[in-house]
Amino acid sequence: MTDCLFVNVTLAAPDGFSVGDLLVLDGRIADLGAGLGRPEGVDVVDGGGGILCPGLVDIRASLGEPGYEYRETIVSAAQAAAAGGITTIGVLPDSRPAIDDPALVKLIISRGEETGSVTLVPYGAATRGCAGEELAEYGLLKAAGAAAFTDGRRSIASARLMRRALSYASGFGMRIIQHPEDAELAEGGAATEGALATILGLPGIPACAEAICVARDIRLAELTGGAVHVAHVTTGEALALIREAKDRGIAVTCDTAPPYFDLNEVAIGDFRTYAKFSPPLRAEADRQAVLAGLADGTIDAIASDHQPRDADDKRLPFAEASAGGAGLATLLAVTLAQVHGGFLSMEQALALLTARPAAWLGVDAGVLRRGAPADLCLFDPEKSWRVEAGKLPGKAQNTPFDGRPLEGKVRGTWKAGRRVFG
């Protein structure tokens, strides 16, 4: 742990952006503001005019371990996260075995601590083995440190089981995170149903499969008094339902991920498997609706939706290839593209990556304030770079943004005051 003073930085603090200094002592923010004195024995970090913000809080990522270490490990994911300015990650339970046992929850937490660079916040499986048949032991999982319950990339298809999950979780003050697809409508599909899927000869998933699932789960949350979080929202129809439910006071929240506001279905091009996702990329009108949902506050967080895949998982015919993309190292820069494009303010973008997801997770992170952990990200918002698959930090290289020029480069990441990147 190193005591340090950041100078020549723009501080992204809760009360707005300002040029100033930030002092770190004993792993925590001791002071921040203009013209701070330099205590004896403190290292000085010249930020070069960059933006100093809280370490990013990513509320959804698969890390490969346990069971899929050939795709990613916790150590390699931590390296990618640090390079992307991420210091806290919500970990999906769809590993092998699934995180449906308290011992596995504790293992993930401890493995994160061992990296020294990232806090891992595991989600417990909503159903045993994420199989969608029998509820897991929510009380024991919460006691071990699980932050919410989900079956990851599998939706809870049974309305009766979802009702029971919401009721059971609410008794512990916990949320159910749902993958928003009607399982029967989505079964066997590979792309959003429409003209492009027809031209490419790909089995389609109707976009309304998302809204049908969301409408059902909102009604079940209202029925049970439970709380539901809709993961990776991709359609305007689903967002309209969530917006209306929030207005009525129903406990529903949601997030989205960079592919859904930066890309549309055209990105699958000539069967480009790195752009195959679940849910699939949508039409341009839905991409615009997601951007509007970010701007008006309907969407609560931007998550990386990191889904590591081996090259062999993707080097298959499009319909057979695994869905998912690497997202840790590109999370900040792709979000900043919307700032440079005028769709979001810098304040909105950083709130969606820091304070809002931290509050949702209930973790002590995401805000620059006195006494807070010194989990920090220093970045140059104008620094240009190009995404290159094969050269990203970490093991997973299956990025849909391969070749994409971006502005916004992380210059350094600190965890509890210790520099872990840059």
What residues are labeled active site? 305
Cβ-proximal residues to 16 (8 Å cutoff; 6+ apart), any chain? 347
Tokens of 271: 């069967």
Alpha helix stretches (DSSP H) within 119-265: 138-144, 159-170, 183-186, 195-200, 208-224, 236-247, 258-262
What is the rounded CA–CA span in Å between residue 61 and residue 74?
A: 11
Strand pairing partners for 191?
Answer: 204
Which strands sit side by side in the sheet containing 86-91, from one edge to the other?
56-61, 86-91, 119-122
What is the rounded CA–CA span in Å between residue 96 and residue 62?
A: 11
CA distances to 44, 307, 419 from 153, rounded to whole Å, are 44, 10, 33
What is the rounded CA–CA span in Å between residue 422 and residue 411?
A: 6
In terms of C-beta density within 10 A (0-12 exposed, 13-18 middle, 19 or more buried), how is residue 167 classed? middle
**Count of other CB atoms within 10 angstroms of residue 195:** 9
Cβ atoms 213, 229 nearer than 8 A: no
CA distances to 209, 306, 362 from 229, rounded to whole Å, are 17, 18, 14
Cβ atoms 90, 123 nearer than 8 A: yes
Cβ atoms 368, 29 nearer than 8 A: yes
What is the rounded CA–CA span in Å between residue 72 and residue 82?
A: 15
